[in-house]
Amino acid sequence: MNEKSTTASNDSDSFRMVALDLDGTLLQSNHQLADKQTEYLRTLNQMGLTFCIATGRAAPSVYDIIKKLALPEPVPVVCSNGARGFLLSYNKTETGCEETKKQEELFYNPVPRDVVTKTIALSKKMGYFVQYYVNDYIFANPITSSHQKMVKKYEFVTESNIIIIEDDFRQFLSQRDDKLPSKLLVRCDKEEFPTCCKIFADEFSERKLAHIVEIDEFHWLEILHPDVNKGDGLHNMCKKLDIPLSKVIAMGDGTNDIEFLQISGLGIAMNNAHHYLKKVANYTTKWTNDEHGVMHTLESLRLKGKLCCSK
């Protein structure tokens, strides 16, 4: 491991919770959970270690993953890059044939109304389209056939359902705050992405009106509340769970994980992580997401007595 000097990694006290990013970290490159790694997480959870999912994904594309994890206790989930947090569990019915979802909402920090309005208007002007995330629903207004293909690909990768609308989200832009989105995605063709990034940075980032996350791999921009990021979401979740951040391990791979790793007691970058993330991580593990990197890294820490596995 390419270790960087850190007081957290030398702390004699064990860590109580592990917060895991999904794509590029817990999930393999095919965006699926590996059975071997899933079984290992269940074992550690039964031994007393808490797991939190922290992802840029919206809630609907997390539900099936939590169901497949099948942890015995409710799973803390931070989604939409820190804008929303809840506890999620699945319980079998009396017949044992079906599972019912139980969800306890903990926090929801939507995009400000003026930022929502400007994002929609600017996207329309430039010929981009928007994905609008409110509660458990995703709406989109694709304009071209290329946009429609992007929507289909997104649905396939995230196993989500997107509701297509024909207008500019007028039905949401009333004065009802419960219709404000946890995040917006601005989407465009690959060759337009550099221009798109600059336009929205000039409009929002430089004036700190919104937090913008550039997702280079898929060529989209995430528009969030200016104070929202995955680190902020983890902080809010830890307050709700009464777990000190110093007792949390965070593992990630992308630039949206920077604050997430920085705020945790021990921030670990995957071997396949973006080079910017590796610079801020406490250390970079030698395994990738396709090599069961989460499992191997946690087992190494467990053997060193760094994990709270007392049960």
The string of pLDDT tens digits covering residues 163-208 is: 999 888 888 877 677 789 999 999 999 999 999 999 999 999 878 8
Residue 230: name the closest of 277, 191, 262, 197 by CA.
Answer: 262
What is the reported pLDDT for 170? Answer: 84
**Tens digit of pLDDT for each residue in 201-256?**
999 987 889 999 988 878 899 999 999 999 999 999 999 999 999 999 999 999 99
Indicate left, alpha or beta for 224 from its phi (over 0: left) and psi (-120 to 50: alpha).
beta
- pTM of the shown model: 0.88
What is the reported pLDDT for 5? Answer: 33
pLDDT at 7 over 80: no
Domains of the chain, each with CATH number or no CATH: 2-108+229-303 (3.40.50.1000), 113-224 (3.30.1240.10)
Query: Which token pair is 162?
Result: 């997107």
CB contact set of 188 (below 8 Å; sequence gap of 6+) = 126, 127, 128, 129, 196, 219, 220
**Tens digit of pLDDT for each residue in 112-171?**
999 999 999 999 999 999 999 998 999 999 999 999 999 999 998 888 899 999 888 888
